[in-house]
Amino acid sequence: MSDGPSEDLSDRQKREIAVCLISPFRRGCADVRALLEDDAVYEAAAAEAFPEYNKAHLVSLELPDRSGDIIITTYGELDKNNYLDPRTAQVATVDHIKQNCTKLRPAADEELPSAYIEEFRSALDVELSKYVGEAYPKGVCAVYCTSGKDLEVPGADFGLAAVISAARRSPQNFCNGSWRSIWTLEFNDGSQFVEIKGKIQVGAHYFEEGNVQLDTNIDCKDSTIFQSPEDCAVAITNIIRHHESEYLSSLEESYLNLSDATFKLPLPILCFTCVIDLRRKLPVTRTLFPWHNTLALSLTRDLAKELAIGK
């Protein structure tokens, strides 16, 4: 026994420890509750940890009216429990702990972008949805206005964010994986260019008779010219397609180049396979994207130059 005085942890200290345990290890919540032996402290910790977990992992939930899925992200967050679905112009109330939507209401006018901005947002949403449907077996996406949402006519800058989330949850096979990418788009009226910044995060966890995890990410930068909503949407989507395809290829190449003696063991193989299965190598058409002929698909010469196509 310790010679010093023994002091019990305060409820605040217990809650902080519980949050740290719940956030990365959601499957162990029952163990955390049992360890705390205090339901009130657990509920307070869960109320803090689960929203952060859901946002960090871009968790997608089915809307109550089954009109689609909503992604839990800071870009759509109106308050702690209410999130905007820009595609359907609705606001969903979310139960973060149960991970479901409990209510749905039409979005108010002040929660939506102006008609001018909506042209760009919805056009990109259409093109991005086509790409995600082709490239991801179980992927969802959304496009949000991040700045300048009240802009009524051309003449000022505005911003959009494109979010893609794909997950493979297969606990019965001891394997989970996720692909998350966020693309921030700054439309600069002065330069007539769209600056594109992306962050791709890939994770996988295989835990049968072992514990192997993969957690990797990459930042991307690109740009295209400021055009009509439809032409911008096509150009931006194909830039996203290009970078994501290249990143998947780099992951495959990295794995193939790993040391045979050190890393090519059954568990890492299964963990990596879980990642590869998140995204199709070929779209549902079974045909590679024709990068040699992108101008025929309404891309501009500037986009071809940016991607170094044909060089």
Asked if 297 and 245 sit in the same domain, the reply is yes
Structural domains of the chain, count: 3
Asked if 216 and 273 sit in the same domain, the reply is yes
Query: Could you read off the pLDDT tens digit of each residue along the chain, which spans 311 residues?
Result: 344 333 465 656 655 555 554 444 445 455 555 555 555 666 777 778 889 989 999 999 999 999 899 999 999 999 999 999 999 999 999 999 889 999 999 999 999 999 999 999 999 999 999 999 999 988 999 999 999 999 999 999 999 999 999 988 766 666 778 899 999 999 999 999 999 999 999 888 776 666 677 788 999 999 999 999 999 999 999 999 999 999 988 887 776 665 554 444 444 445 555 665 666 655 555 555 454 444 444 334 443 444 444 44
Residue 256: inside a domain, yes or no?
yes
Residue ranges of the alpha helices (H) in 143-225?
none
Residue 229: inside a domain, yes or no?
yes
Asked if 204 and 65 sit in the same domain, the reply is no
CA distance 131 to 162: 12
On whether the CB atoms of residues 124 and 160 are closer than 8 A, the answer is yes
Q: Which two tokens stand for residue 22?
A: 């719940």
Asked if 131 and 243 sit in the same domain, the reply is yes
Asked if 197 and 264 sit in the same domain, the reply is yes
Listed residues 94, 112, 130: the one ending a domain: 112
pLDDT digits over 176-194, tens only? Answer: 788 999 999 999 999 999 9
Residue 299: inside a domain, yes or no?
yes
List strand residue ranges (DSSP E) for the chain, in order: 60-62, 69-71, 82-85, 90-95, 100-106, 139-147, 158-170, 175-188, 193-206, 212-225
Asked if 149 and 105 sit in the same domain, the reply is no
Query: Phi and psi for 107 in degrees, rounded to 5?
Result: -70, 145
**Would you state the pLDDT for residue 154?**
95
Asked if 269 and 187 sit in the same domain, the reply is yes
Find the angle CA(135)-CA(26)-CA(56) to the nearest 5 degrees.
50
Q: How many CB atoms lie within 10 A of CB 191?
A: 12
Asked if 40 and 62 sit in the same domain, the reply is no
Residue 264: inside a domain, yes or no?
yes
CA distance 66 to 92: 12
Residue 168: inside a domain, yes or no?
yes
Residue 2: inside a domain, yes or no?
no
**Would you state the pLDDT for residue 262?**
46
Residue 239: inside a domain, yes or no?
yes
Asked if 26 and 62 sit in the same domain, the reply is no
Q: How far is CA 166 from CA 9, 163, 232, 248, 250, in A?
A: 40, 10, 24, 14, 19
CATH number at residue 212: 3.90.1150.210
Query: Phi and psi for 25 in degrees, rounded to 5?
Result: -125, 70
Q: In what order do the strands lie in the sheet with 100-106?
A: 82-85, 90-95, 100-106
The residues, ordered by sequence, that sit 6+ positions from 296 with a Cβ below 8 Å of its Cβ are: 290
**Would you state the pLDDT for residue 153?**
95
Residue 262: inside a domain, yes or no?
yes
Asked if 102 and 140 sit in the same domain, the reply is no
CATH number at residue 67: 3.30.1140.60
Asked if 234 and 244 sit in the same domain, the reply is yes
Note down the domain range covering 61.
55-112
Asked if 153 and 301 sit in the same domain, the reply is yes
